[in-house]
Amino acid sequence: NAGVTQTPKFQVLKTGQSMTLQCAQDMNHNSMYWYRQDPGMGLRLIYYSASEGTTDKGEVPNGYNVSRLNKREFSLRLESAAPSQTSVYFCASTYRQSNEQFFGPGTRLTVL
Amino acid sequence: SQELEQSPQSLIVQEGKNLTINCTSSKTLYGLYWYKQKYGEGLIFLMMLQKGGEEKSHEKITAKLDEKKQQSSLHITASQPSHAGIYLCGAAYTSGTYKYIFGTGTRLKVLA
């Protein structure tokens, strides 16, 4: 099993450009999450999907959109990237709520 | 998040020494999760604690949750260079939550 996979691993964007971060899990988990990790601020939840077909806002959703394409895949879209969105983005999944989360390797995004 | 404080922020120890990392919550926890993150990589799940007074071990790493379920400690015995990385604690405050809170992490360096 690959666990949680993310693409791309690195990305550089110019202000105003758009892009989609992809995440997939092969553990038959019901719930999926997107976090950003910034120095000194820990992990902050952007959006989550409790189950296929549902998505909800987390702590810092502004400037992002998500799509739960199917049970395996959960994508994060930046419509108009801003320098404040420079961060490391992690996708995670759980079998059910309050269970331990399994994380992908992360996407390092720089917005110039 | 200030709901979950980790200490110390960073730690440098000589190989073979024992060390302890603390995670303190401002509220009673439902579940407490310990993760290890190698520099530039994703988070690896170590242990989950739920019951007051619970203690779990994984190789040379032991984690405890206090009786009041507001503080956890992670203890490494006879540290090795392979233990180096960032240790993060995460918390769930209710059984049905999808919104986990994370500490800002403790950077551990082990000198050979």
| Separation in Å, CA A39 to CA A88, B38, B104 | 10, 15, 8
| Domain B4-111: CATH architecture, name and number where available | Sandwich (2.60)
pLDDT of residue B2: 65
Residue A23 in this model has a pLDDT that exceeds 90: yes
Residue of chain A with shortest Cα separation from B6: A42
Tell the burial category of B95 from Cβ atoms under 10 Å away from its Cβ (0-12, 13-18, 19+).
exposed
Residue with tokens 């739920």: B50
Q: By CB neighbour count within 10 A (0-12 exposed, 13-18 middle, 19+ buried), where does B67 fall?
A: exposed
Using CA atoms, how far residue B74 sits from A6, A77, A107, B39, B55, in Å, is: 29, 36, 28, 19, 10
pLDDT band of residue B94 (cuts 50, 70, 90) is confident
Tell me, what's the pLDDT at A100?
Answer: 87
pLDDT at A97 over 80: no
Residues of A in contact with B40 (CB under 8 A): 106, 108
User: What's the rounded Cα separation, in Å, for the pair A17 and B69?
Assistant: 45
pLDDT higher than 90, residue B54: yes
Residue A69 near residue A89 (C-beta atoms within 8 A): no
Query: Which chain B residues in 29-58 lie under 8 Å from chain A, judged by CB atoms?
Result: 30-31, 33, 35, 40-45, 48
